[in-house]
Structure 1
Amino acid sequence: MSFRSPMPDVEIPDKSLYDFLFEDLTGNEETVALIDGPSGAETTYAALRAQINALAGGLAARGFASGQVAAVLCPNVPAFVTVFHGILRAGGTATTVNSLYTAHEIADQLKDSKAVLLFTPSMFLPQAEAAAQEAGLDVANIVVIDGSDTVAPERSSLRSLLTSGVPAPEVSIDPATHLAVLPYSSGTTGRAKGVMLTHRNLVANLAQTADCIGVGPADKVLCVLPFFHIYGMNVLMNGGLQHRAALVTMPKFDLPEFLRIIAERQASYLFVAPPIAVALAKHPLVDQYDVSTIRMIFSGAAPLDADLGHAVEQRLGCTLHQGYGMSEMSPVSHCIPQSRDDIPLGTVGLTIPNMECKLVDPATGEEIGVPEAGTSAPGELWCKGPNVMVGYFGNAQATGETLDGDGFLHTGDVATVSSEGYVTIVDRVKELIKYKGYQVPPAELEAVLLGHPGIADAAVVGVIVDGEEIPKAFVVLQAGAELTADDVMAYVAEQVAPHKKVRQVEFIDVVPKSSAGKILRRQLRAAPASV
Structure 2
Amino acid sequence: MNISAQLQETAKKFADKPAYFFMGQQGTYAELDEAIQKFASGLEKLGIKQGDHIALLLGNSPHFVISLYGALRLGVTVIPVNPIYTADEIGFILNNGDVKAVVALDLALPLAEKMHTLLPRIEHYIFCETKPNSLVLSEIESLTVYSKMKSFTEIIASGEQSFQGPIVRDEDVAIILYTSGTTGKPKGAMLTHKNIYSNAKDVGDYLKMNQEDRVVTVLPMFHVFCLTVVLNAPLLSGATLLIAPKFSPKEVFSLIKEHTATVFAGVPTMYNFLHQYPDGDPNDLKSLRLCISGGASLPVALLKNFEKKFNVVISEGYGLSEASPVTSFNPLDRPRKPGSIGMSILRVENKIVDGLGQDVPIGAVGELIVRGPNVMKGYYKMPEETQAAIRDGWLHTGDMARMDEEGYFYIVDRKKDLIIVGGYNVYPREVEEVIYNHHDVVEVAVVGVPDPNQGEAVNAYVVSKNPALTFGQLQEYCREHLAKYKVPTTIEFIDELPKNTTGKILRRALKNIISQKVNN
Residues 377 and 190 of structure 1: is their aligned pair in 2 closer, same or farther, counting only changes over 3 Å? farther
Q: Which amino acid aligns with 1:77?
A: S
Pairing of 1:47-86 with structure 2 (within 5 A): 47-86=31-70
- What residue in structure 1 maps to residue 350 of structure 2? 357
- What residue in structure 2 maps to residue 22 of structure 1? 8
1:505 partner SS: helix
- What residue in structure 2 maps to residue 143 of structure 1? 126
Pairing of 1:477-488 with structure 2 (within 5 A): none
Deviation at 1:288, TM superposition (A): 8.9
Match of 1:31 among 17, 21, 31: 17
Q: Which amino acid aligns with 1:223?
A: T
User: Are 2:453 and 1:466 aligned?
Assistant: no
Note if contact 1:69-1:92 (Cα within 8 Å) is conserved in structure 2.
Answer: yes
Task: Output the CA distance in 1 between the equivalents of 2:132 and 2:384.
Answer: 44
Note if contact 2:73-2:165 (Cα within 8 Å) is conserved in structure 1.
Answer: no
Deviation at 1:305, TM superposition (A): 1.7
Residues 163 and 502 of structure 1: is their aligned pair in 2 closer, same or farther, counting only changes over 3 Å? same
What are the ranges of 5 or more consecutive residues in structure 2 without an aligned counterpart? 419-427, 430-446, 448-456, 465-497
TM-score in terms of structure 1 length: 0.76
- What residue in structure 2 maps to residue 294 of structure 1? 288
Pairing of 1:366-377 with structure 2 (within 5 A): 366-369=358-361, 371=362, 376-377=363-364
- What residue in structure 2 maps to residue 110 of structure 1? 94
Q: Deviations over 1:435-479 (max 9, x none)?
A: xxxxxxx9xxxxxxxxxxxxxxxxxx99652389xxxxxxxxxxx
- What residue in structure 2 maps to residue 120 of structure 1? 104
Match of 2:307 among 310, 313, 325: 313
Task: Output the CA distance in 2 between the equivalents of 1:91 and 1:74.
Answer: 20
Note if contact 1:119-1:144 (Cα within 8 Å) is conserved in structure 2.
Answer: yes
Q: Deviations over 1:25-61 (max 9, x none)?
A: 343101110100xx22110011111000000110111
Q: Give the helix-richer structure, 1 or 2.
A: 2
- What residue in structure 2 maps to residue 254 of structure 1? 248
Question: % of aligned pairs identical?
Answer: 31
Q: Deviations over 1:401-444 (max 9, x none)?
A: 1111x11000000010011100000022135999xxxxxxx9xx
Match of 1:392 among 352, 358, 379: 379
Note if contact 2:298-2:339 (Cα within 8 Å) is conserved in structure 1.
Answer: yes
Note if contact 1:259-1:289 (Cα within 8 Å) is conserved in structure 2.
Answer: no
Pairing of 1:6-17 with structure 2 (within 5 A): 15-17=1-3
Note if contact 2:329-2:345 (Cα within 8 Å) is conserved in structure 1.
Answer: yes
Deviation at 1:252, TM superposition (A): 1.3
Task: Output the CA distance in 2 between the equivalents of 1:98 and 1:467.
Answer: 27
* Number of residue pairs the alignment of both structures matches: 438
Q: Which stretch has the larger CA shift, 154-163 or 185-194?
A: 185-194
Note if contact 1:60-1:169 (Cα within 8 Å) is conserved in structure 2.
Answer: no
Task: Output the CA distance in 2 between the equivalents of 1:144 and 1:398.
Answer: 35
Pairing of 1:346-495 with structure 2 (within 5 A): 346-362=339-355, 364-369=356-361, 371=362, 376-404=363-391, 406-430=392-416, 464-466=460-462
TM-align CA RMSD: 3.1
Q: Deviations over 1:133-155 (max 9, x none)?
A: 432355x6110112576423531
2:11 partner SS: coil
1:23 partner SS: helix
Residues 509 and 70 of structure 1: is their aligned pair in 2 closer, same or farther, counting only changes over 3 Å? closer
- What residue in structure 2 maps to residue 171 of structure 1? 166
What are the ranges of 5 or more consecutive residues in structure 1 without an aligned counterpart? 1-14, 435-441, 443-460, 469-491, 512-529
Q: Which amino acid aligns with 2:513?
A: V
Note if contact 1:260-1:289 (Cα within 8 Å) is conserved in structure 2.
Answer: no
Task: Output the CA distance in 1 between the equivalents of 2:358 and 2:78.
Answer: 39
Note if contact 1:35-1:43 (Cα within 8 Å) is conserved in structure 2.
Answer: yes
Task: Output the CA distance in 2 between the equivalents of 1:240 and 1:23.
Answer: 14
1:84 partner SS: helix
- What residue in structure 2 maps to residue 487 of structure 1? none
TM-score in terms of structure 2 length: 0.78
Note if contact 1:358-1:381 (Cα within 8 Å) is conserved in structure 2.
Answer: yes
Task: Output the CA distance in 2 between the equivalents of 1:214 and 1:245.
Answer: 11
